[in-house]
Amino acid sequence: MSAGRKSLLLLLLVLLWPGEGFAQVKEVKTFKREMKLEENGARLEASFFFPDVFTPRFKKRLSSGFTSHVLVGVQLLVAKERVPLAQGVAEYTILYDIWEEKFAVRVQGVEGQKDLVVPSMEDLVRSCATVDKMQLTRLLDLPADVKVFLEVRIQINPTSPEQLRKVREYLANPDGSGRVGGAKFFGSFSRIFVDEKDFQAEAVYTYRSPELTLPSR
């Protein structure tokens, strides 16, 4: 993994792991949750479940016909020092078709884009809240005999269009290549994600796993 790609992913996680004192956030909750960490060849994968974000209030919005966005960020952390060893990110875009009475879901991650159509709220929660084997980008070599845990940070409807645009640019070009291009991309990307005062969302939920054993080296 290139140094540029690591830097870009770290900057993205500034958005997903903001500092304290953001008055714009209307709801902040933390949960303990069992999660799964696997190694599949060279891939490191995380599996988890986050149904709690689909509150009655959020479900009402989802059923209104307005587009909703959910940002999901995952970190694999050393237990005591909280040193990030690997990270992943995905964006969910959800729109209810009031005529067809179905939900259209677009999931964008570093592995590409997936489009779903689901017929009911129950199916929507099951489809979106169940994450199976999300690929994590390694930031450091995984050490032996170190206690780790997974932390998942979920933002409901971030309200800055600029932030959403930068997330999508990263997901489309995680190494900084393509039409956005090199240093120009890195500069514009870093400015928005280090500017923490712009952070806004309807709700932020954090899930933490118990301590996990790293896949065998």
Mean pLDDT score, 120-131: 94
Classify residue 98 as exposed, middle or buried by CB count within 10 Å of its CB (0-12, 13-18, 19+).
exposed
153-194 pLDDT, tens per residue? 888 987 666 666 666 666 666 555 544 444 443 333 333 333
Q: Whole-angstrom Cα distance, residue 33 to residue 197? A: 30
CA–CA separation, 173 and 6 (whole Å): 12
Q: What is the DSSP string of the chain?
A: --HHHHHHHHHHHHHHS--S--TT-S-EEEEE---EEEEETTEEEEEEE-GGG--HHHHHHHTTT--EEEEEEEEEEETTT--EEEEEEEEEEEEEETTTTEEEEEEEETTEEEEEEESSHHHHHHHHHEEEEEEEEESSPPPSS--EEEEEEEEES---HHHHHHHHHHHH-TTS-SSS-HHHHHHHHHHHHH-GGG---SEEEEEEPPPBPPPP-
Confidence of residue 7 (pLDDT cuts 50, 70, 90): low
pTM of the model: 0.73
- Give Cα 77 distance to the centre of its chain: 15
Phi and psi, residue 210, nearest 5°: -65, 170
What tens digit of pLDDT does each residue of 68-110 get? 999 888 889 988 888 888 888 889 999 999 899 999 999 988 7
